[in-house]
């Protein structure tokens, strides 16, 4: 799939942020723990959710859309214990069925997961956690297998506050007898969402959002209805888009606190940011100035917004530094941005970005989801036409990305060989132009 972007138009208007991809993927897996029906509201219709739904079905669970953004999930009867390689290779979050299915069935076999090509992404902390809870865990022929041994809560220290490992251990421990303590746990908002969801199903999880999470294992989980938090990365992408195009964009349906690290950097570069209850307006009134960014686990600056921020810094006055501390291979957008006139030098974990007056349209290729987002932002800021290939990667994490950007005035055409049902349309319907909310209901 290709996107053809005509740059140079300042983006203006309001955009409603969808439910969080990373939360939805964890919650879909976690629903397996319950024996009763679970409803998840505010789930984005994106490719990664579609893949996670395929995995639910492959494991014998039932999942369907009920209305625009609600998923109905039910896990009962005899469930399978294997996830097919063809599905796991598409998405890193397939690994989250490890903890959930361990809690549900005791036994689970998953292929080593795939996902974005941004670094080696090992699973050692996940395996260490399950092993300490008493699972016999093996890694052979590309498959991880967990079988129940003598299961008992314990104290687990994570060398790094891995989001996925924290989630897997929380889910497995939620159904393991005794008390489990995770030290140096990840503090991301999606971890808090998962803890709240587990508790809504009858789990007993405390401390999520701090680096010490305490889980008292329970034996039964009930059904529930739960609404996923807004996607802070999608919100951040539209906020940065206002800056790179020199416009004014209001993101609606956000949790302002989750975006504080992003707001602080946008203010540093000279953008005006007004936050108010559940919406944030970003406006560019003058030049962008250089700044330095270090990506860190939450509440540090999110690695998922590092490449979109690189576009903003490429247009700043002066020289900026980005240090990537979370993934070792996350500067892949840099070479493509250089095709568009950006001046970026990458050495190991650091990118040096010398600001230029403007970018120019070019043919570029998305290497991963967030690199794709940065190329879209660069295309919108550039003079002339940008052709982005492998643009289907954007559908992994951005709901109705073409429709939403178009509603802000972006000129984007989507050349797709097939309609994959993810609403990558080239233009808005008449009703959406009059009422951007209408577009949400139709998705
Ligand atoms: C999640 C997010 C992803 C985000 C990332 C960091 C999902 C589906 N994805 O990915 O969007 O960019 O958090 O905020 O929620 N690590 C190990 N050993 C392990 C596990 C991780 O060394 O067992 C390392 C990784 O190589 C990486 C770092 O920890 O360098 C962070 O990874 P992690 O927090 O686990 O990210 P994910 O959960 O994969």
Q: Give the span between the Cα atoms of 75 and 59, in whole angstroms.
A: 9
- Interior CA angle at 417 toward 413 and 422, to 5°? 70
Report CA(22)–ligand 1 centroid distance (Å): 11
List residues bridging with 196 in a β-sheet: none
- pLDDT the model gives residue 113: 75
Q: Is the CB of 93 under 6 A from ligand 1?
A: yes
Q: Is the CB of 16 under 6 A from ligand 1?
A: no
- Interior CA angle at 118 toward 332 and 86, to 5°? 125
Report CA(368)–ligand 1 centroid distance (Å): 15
Q: Is the CB of 157 under 6 A from ligand 1?
A: no
pTM: 0.93
Around Cβ 433, how many Cβ atoms within 10 Å? 13
Q: Is the CB of 369 under 6 A from ligand 1?
A: no
For the CA of 302, the closest atom of ligand 1 is 14
Q: Is the CB of 440 under 6 A from ligand 1?
A: no
| Catalytic residue from among 12, 116, 154, 390 | 116
CB proximity list for 348: less than 8 A, separation 6 or greater: none
Q: Dihedral (C-alpha) 321, 337, 50, 123: value to the nearest 10 degrees? A: -40
Q: Give the span between the Cα atoms of 74 and 57, in whole angstroms.
A: 10
Q: Is the CB of 94 under 6 A from ligand 1?
A: no
Q: Is the CB of 344 under 6 A from ligand 1?
A: no
3-18+230-442, CATH topology level: UDP-n-acetylglucosamine1-carboxyvinyl-transferase; Chain (3.65.10)
To test the pocket of ligand 1, the residue of 162, 192, 326, 396 to mutate (highest count of ligand atoms within 8 Å of its CB) is: 162
Measured CA distances, 19 to 94, 198, 334, 424 (Å): 19, 18, 28, 18
Q: Which of 138, 55, 63 is nearest to 97 (CA)?
A: 55
Q: Is the CB of 303 under 6 A from ligand 1?
A: yes
Q: Which of 199, 105, 99, 104 is nearest to 156 (CA)?
A: 99
- pLDDT the model gives residue 432: 36
For the CA of 188, the closest atom of ligand 1 is 14
List residues bridging with 360 in a β-sheet: 383
- pLDDT the model gives residue 428: 35
Cβ-contact 154, 176 below 8 angstroms: no
- pLDDT the model gives residue 139: 87
Helix (H) or strand (E) run with residue 338 in it: helix 333-339
- pLDDT the model gives residue 321: 98
- pLDDT the model gives residue 116: 54
CATH for 21-227 is 3.65.10.10
To test the pocket of ligand 1, the residue of 44, 91, 116, 160 to mutate (highest count of ligand atoms within 8 Å of its CB) is: 160
What is the longest distance spanned by two Cα atoms in the chain? 64
Q: Is the CB of 56 under 6 A from ligand 1?
A: no
- pLDDT the model gives residue 219: 93
- pLDDT the model gives residue 429: 37
Paired sense of beta strands 319-323 and 292-294, if any = parallel
Common-topology check for domains 3-18+230-442 and 21-227: yes
To test the pocket of ligand 1, the residue of 307, 326, 329, 397 to mutate (highest count of ligand atoms within 8 Å of its CB) is: 326
For the CA of 126, the closest atom of ligand 1 is 23
- pLDDT the model gives residue 277: 93
- pLDDT the model gives residue 289: 98
Report CA(163)–ligand 1 centroid distance (Å): 5
Which residue has its alpha carbon closest to ligand 1 atom 35? 162
- 135 three-class SS: strand
- The sign of the CA dihedral 128, 28, 34, 163 is positive
Which residue has its alpha carbon closest to ligand 1 atom 5? 163
Q: Give the span between the Cα atoms of 208 and 225, in whole angstroms.
A: 20
Cβ-contact 266, 239 below 8 angstroms: yes
- The sign of the CA dihedral 364, 12, 275, 423 is negative
Active site residue 414: no
Length in residues, the chain: 443
- pLDDT the model gives residue 427: 36
Give me the average pLDDT of each 10-residue run along the chain (443 residues).
96 98 98 96 97 96 95 92 90 94 91 65 91 94 92 97 97 97 98 98 98 97 98 98 98 98 98 97 96 98 98 98 92 96 96 98 96 98 97 95 97 75 42 35 26
- pLDDT the model gives residue 426: 34
Give 390-431 as a 3 state SS string.
Answer: CHHHHHHCCCCHHHHHHHCCCEEEEECCCCCCCCCCCCCCHH
Report CA(364)–ligand 1 centroid distance (Å): 27
Which residue ranges make up each domain of the chain?
A: 3-18+230-442, 21-227
CB proximity list for 207: less than 8 A, separation 6 or greater: 185, 213, 214
């Amino acid at each position: 799939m290709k996107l053809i972007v005509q740059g140079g138009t300042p983006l203006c208007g309001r955009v409603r942020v969808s439910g969080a991809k990373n939360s939805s993927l964890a919650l879909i897996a976690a629903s397996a723990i319950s024996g009763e029906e679970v409803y998840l509201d505010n789930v984005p219709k994106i490719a990664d959710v579609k893949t996670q739904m395929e995995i639910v079905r492959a494991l014998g669970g039932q999942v369907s859309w009920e209305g625009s953004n609600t998923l109905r999930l039910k896990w009962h009867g005899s469930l399978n214990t294997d996830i097919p390689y063809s599905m796991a290779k598409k998405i890193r979050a397939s690994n989250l069925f490890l903890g959930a299915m361990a809690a549900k069935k005791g036994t689970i076999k998953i292929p080593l997961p795939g996902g974005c090509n941004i670094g080696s992404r090992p699973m050692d902390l996940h395996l260490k956690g399950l092993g300490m809870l008493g699972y016999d865990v093996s890694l052979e022929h590309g498959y991880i297998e967990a079988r129940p041994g003598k299961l008992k809560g314990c104290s687990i220290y994570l060398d790094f506050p891995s989001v996925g490992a924290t989630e897997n251990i929380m889910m497995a421990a939620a159904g393991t007898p005794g008390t489990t303590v995770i030290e140096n746990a990840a503090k991301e908002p999606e971890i808090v969402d998962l803890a709240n969801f587990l508790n809504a199903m009858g789990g007993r999880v405390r401390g999520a959002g701090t680096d010490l999470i305490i889980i008292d294992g329970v034996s039964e989980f009930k059904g529930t209805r739960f609404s996923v938090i807004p996607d802070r990365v999608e919100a951040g992408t539209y906020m940065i888009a206002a800056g790179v195009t020199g416009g004014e964009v209001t993101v609606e349906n956000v949790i302002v606190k989750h975006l504080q690290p992003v707001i602080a950097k946008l203010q540093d570069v000279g953008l005006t940011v007004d936050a108010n209850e559940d919406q944030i307006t970003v406006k560019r009134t003058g030049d962008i100035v250089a700044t330095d960014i270090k990506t860190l686990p939450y509440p540090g600056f999110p690695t998922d917004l590092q490449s979109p921020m690189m576009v903003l810094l490429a247009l700043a006055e002066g020289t900026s530094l980005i240090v990537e501390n979370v993934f070792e291979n996350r500067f892949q957008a840099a070479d493509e941005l250089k095709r568009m006139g950006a001046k970026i030098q990458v050495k190991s974990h650091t990118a040096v970005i010398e600001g230029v007056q403007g970018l120019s349209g070019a043919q570029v290729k998305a290497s991963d989801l967030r690199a794709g987002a940065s190329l879209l932002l660069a295309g919108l800021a550039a003079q002339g036409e940008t052709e982005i290939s492998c643009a289907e990667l954007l559908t992994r994490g951005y709901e109705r990305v073409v429709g939403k950007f178009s509603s802000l005035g972006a000129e984007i055409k989507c050349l797709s060989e097939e309609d994959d049902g993810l609403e990558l349309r080239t233009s808005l319907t008449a009703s959406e132009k009059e009422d951007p909310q209408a577009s949400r209901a139709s998705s």
